């Protein structure tokens, strides 16, 4: 179910978003949703080349396995 969110923007930011939305022929709300999801995708997930680098690093993979095991066992040091 869709949710409504209210945000407060200064005039400059609003105009920048409005121009970007218009250039892509999108409503402002759709552009904000699209841009937000794109940002999350680019920052929260690894791309194919990053994953290949991870998978080809045996030391890193072992550290990830160890960390995952410790997390499941609720041991180890967690850094935020």
Which helix (H) or strand (E) segment holds residue 56: the answer is none
Number of domain units in the chain: 2
67 in Cβ contact with 76 (< 8 Å): yes
Which helix (H) or strand (E) segment holds residue 75: the answer is none
Q: What pLDDT is stored for residue 54 in this prediction?
A: 93
The residue range of the domain holding 64 is: 46-80
16-75: pLDDT as tens digits: 999 999 999 999 999 999 999 999 988 888 888 989 999 999 999 999 999 899 889 988
Residue 68: phi and psi, rounded to 5, are -65, -45
Residue 28 belongs to some domain of the structure? yes
- Whole-number Å distance between alpha carbons of 69 and 71: 5
59 and 35 in a single domain? The answer is: no
Residue 4 belongs to some domain of the structure? no
pTM for the predicted model, two decimal places:
0.58
């Amino acid at each position: 179910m869709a949710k409504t969110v209210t945000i407060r923007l200064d005039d400059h930011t609003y105009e920048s978003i409005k121009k970007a939305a218009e250039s892509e022929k999108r409503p402002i709300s759709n552009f904000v949703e699209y841009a937000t999801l794109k940002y999350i995708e680019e920052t929260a997930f690894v791309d194919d080349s990053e994953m290949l680098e991870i998978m080809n690093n045996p030391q890193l993979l072992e550290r990830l396995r160890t960390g995952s095991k410790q997390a499941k066992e609720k041991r180890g040091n967690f850094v935020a």
